[in-house]
């Protein structure tokens, strides 16, 4: 059972919906990253789960389950009992979240006394232990200080200590590293991961920084205009984004290109959203079907190695049904074959035919040429078949991950998602 499950959540301010049917779930010990630009509804999701919507905001539809408890059906008194104990939140700015009139140790102790019934003395002792757990220097002395006497990183550690004090089942971390420098960001993220593993907490990590999200998340949900437009494993979303907006976010990251990609236009006005895809006015791939906003769609199955070979004009070799002479195998050292996943297939005069899963990989091709000491001709083969062939001809144990499972949960809210090789799939190469 998921630690937290959100089903078709809708939040409105007056007649304007700012969350438009959000569905998410997070398992114990899992980190779900929520990413998107400012104003897309990320923080509003966390506040709705906590029952802390700003004045004028209301949940207009959907369900929120903490385990098997429907949070939206609870009276305020019961919800208050769960906040800080079963579900906790770390806010973006610890300086405004902490009480400036109370010492930080007392603020942590207050949560322990309220939710666990500890005496004042035991609660204060536990508060010091919590500060020590989050690696605050001199925790006894730090517990007696007021928030303004701490640095930004120390204040955020106090917030993390307070959030984990009662061993919550779910932690919502809303931009916990935004106000910190890069070094402190890394320290806070490592700290969150360590405490999560110790306590088995499910973490909902909210950020506008896709780099931060990708470094710690197991799965990623990309928000745009109050909806989830892409959802899947962190690896799938970052390496093979299927929605044009996600591709735009990744294209804006510094990398090998001299010029960064920008997303044209500006975020939509929620009050004027119609039936069409909310990203359509900014999308370079808009076509007739975009007049209707789609639900999350599963991408088409990835192409086989044989299909990719035909598409890129490479020869395909079925290694499972190809006999390779021992004298040909001996031409390529085992170390190079295993490191770069290469299999020599045949020798044509002084040219060695080498099977690769990506024949266009120049680094692997150069390594094969250097190791074999002759010219090579790259051909394409299925990666799993290459790994089986390496085990067969060079010996050793078969690799644990010989097959690469397809991420069947990778989805995107774009009609182009179901058209592999077209539209949205091409934007990263444009």
125 exposure class (CB count in 10 Å sphere: 0-12, 13-18, 19+): middle
Q: What is the pLDDT of residues 232-287, one digit of tens each?
A: 999 999 988 999 999 999 888 877 666 777 888 999 999 999 889 999 999 988 88
Decide if pLDDT at 202 tops 70. Answer: yes
Average pLDDT over residues 3-13: 96
Q: Minimal CA–CA distance to 412: which of 218, 223, 249?
A: 223
166 vs 117: CA distance, rounded Å: 11
Which residues share a beta bridge with 377? 353
Which pLDDT value is given to residue 403? 44
Contact 17, 202 (CB under 8 A): no
Contact 410, 391 (CB under 8 A): no
Decide if pLDDT at 402 tops 80. Answer: no
Strands, E, within 67-149: which ranges?
A: 69-70, 87-90
61 vs 53: CA distance, rounded Å: 14
The torsion angles phi and psi of 40, rounded to 5 degrees, stand at: -90, -10
Decide if pLDDT at 186 tops 60. Answer: yes
Q: What is the pLDDT of residues 101-156, one digit of tens each?
A: 999 999 999 888 888 888 989 999 999 998 988 888 898 999 999 999 998 888 88
Where do runs of H (alpha helix) occur along 254-321? 305-311
90 vs 82: CA distance, rounded Å: 15
Decide if pLDDT at 365 tops 50. Answer: yes
317 exposure class (CB count in 10 Å sphere: 0-12, 13-18, 19+): buried
Domains and CATH numbers, the chain: 4-237 (3.40.50.300), 305-394 (3.30.300.160)
Mean pLDDT across the chain, nearest whole number? 87
Q: What number of other Cβ atoms are within 10 A of residue 271's Cβ?
A: 11
Decide if pLDDT at 398 tops 80. Answer: no
Instruction: Calculate the alpha carbon distances from 6 to 12, 24, 88, 101, 228 in Å.
Output: 16, 5, 16, 36, 12
The torsion of the CA quartet 352, 319, 335, 400, rounded to 10 degrees, works out to 160
302-307 long-range contacts, Cβ below 8 Å, gap at least 24?
A: 302/406, 302/420, 303/420, 303/421, 304/382, 305/357, 305/380, 305/381, 305/382, 305/383, 305/385, 306/380, 306/382
265 vs 19: CA distance, rounded Å: 21
Joined together, the tokens standing for residue 62 give 């959907």
Contact 334, 394 (CB under 8 A): yes
Contact 402, 384 (CB under 8 A): yes
Helices 182-199 and 152-164, packing angle to 10 deg: 10
Contact 201, 192 (CB under 8 A): no
pTM here?
0.72
Q: Minimal CA–CA distance to 404: which of 312, 334, 301, 324?
A: 301
221 vs 35: CA distance, rounded Å: 6
Instruction: Calculate the alpha carbon distances from 261 to 135, 264, 375 in Å.
Output: 39, 9, 38
Decide if pLDDT at 424 tops 80. Answer: no
Looking at the chain, the whole-number percentage of residues with pLDDT higher than 70 is: 92
Radius of gyration of the CA atoms of the chain, in A: 26
Which pLDDT value is given to residue 429? 35
Q: Minimal CA–CA distance to 246: which of 230, 225, 266?
A: 230
Decide if pLDDT at 228 tops 90. Answer: yes
Looking at the chain, the whole-number percentage of residues with pLDDT higher than 90 is: 51
Stretch among 21-30, 104-113, 394-403 having the lowest mean pLDDT: 394-403
Decide if pLDDT at 219 tops 80. Answer: yes
Q: What is the pLDDT of residues 74-92, one digit of tens each?
A: 999 999 999 988 999 988 7
């Amino acid at each position: 059972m998921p630690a937290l499950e959100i089903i078709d959540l809708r939040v409105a301010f007056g007649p304007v919906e700012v969350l438009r049917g959000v569905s998410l779930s997070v398992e114990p010990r899992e980190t779900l990253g929520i990413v998107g630009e400012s104003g897309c509804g990320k923080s509003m999701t966390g506040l709705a789960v906590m029952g802390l919507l700003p004045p004028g905001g209301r949940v207009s539809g959907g369900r929120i389950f903490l385990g098997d408890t429907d949070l939206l059906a609870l009276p305020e008194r019961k919800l208050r009992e769960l906040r800080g104990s079963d579900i906790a939140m770390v806010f973006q700015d610890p300086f405004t979240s902490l009480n400036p009139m109370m010492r930080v140790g007392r603020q942590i102790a207050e949560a322990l006394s309220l939710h666990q019934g500890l005496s004042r003395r035991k609660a204060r002792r536990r508060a010091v232990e919590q500060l020590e757990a989050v690696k605050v220097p001199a925790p006894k002395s730090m517990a007696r200080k007021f928030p303004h006497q701490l640095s930004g990183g120390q204040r955020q550690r106090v917030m993390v200590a307070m959030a984990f004090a009662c061993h919550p089942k779910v932690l919502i971390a809303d931009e916990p590293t935004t106000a910190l420098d890069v070094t402190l960001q890394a320290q806070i993220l490592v700290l969150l991961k360590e405490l999560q593993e110790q306590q088995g907490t499910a973490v909902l990590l909210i950020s506008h920084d896709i780099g931060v999200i990708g470094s710690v998340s197991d799965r990623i949900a990309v928000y745009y205009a109050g909806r989830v437009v892409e959802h899947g494993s962190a690896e799938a979303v970052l390496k093979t984004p299927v929605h044009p907006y996600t591709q735009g976010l990744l294209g804006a990251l510094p990398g090998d290109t001299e010029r960064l990609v920008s997303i044209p236009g500006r975020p939509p006005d929620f009050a004027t959203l119609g039936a069409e895809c909310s990203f359509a006015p900014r999308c370079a791939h808009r076509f007739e079907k975009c007049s209707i906003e789609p639900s999350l769609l599963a991408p088409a199955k990835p192409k086989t190695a044989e299909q990719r070979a035909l598409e890129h004009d490479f020869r395909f070799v079925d290694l499972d049904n190809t006999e390779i002479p021992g004298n040909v195998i001996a031409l390529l050292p085992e170390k190079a074959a295993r490191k770069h996943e290469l299999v020599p297939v045949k020798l044509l005069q002084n040219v060695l035919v080498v099977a690769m899963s990506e024949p266009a990989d120049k680094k692997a091709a150069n390594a094969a040429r250097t190791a074999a000491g002759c010219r090579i001709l790259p051909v394409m083969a299925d990666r799993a078949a290459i790994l089986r062939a390496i085990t067969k001809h060079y010996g050793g144990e078969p690799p644990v991950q010989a097959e690469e499972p397809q991420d069947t949960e990778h989805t995107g809210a774009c009609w182009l998602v179901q058209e592999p090789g077209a539209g949205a799939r091409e934007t990263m190469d444009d």
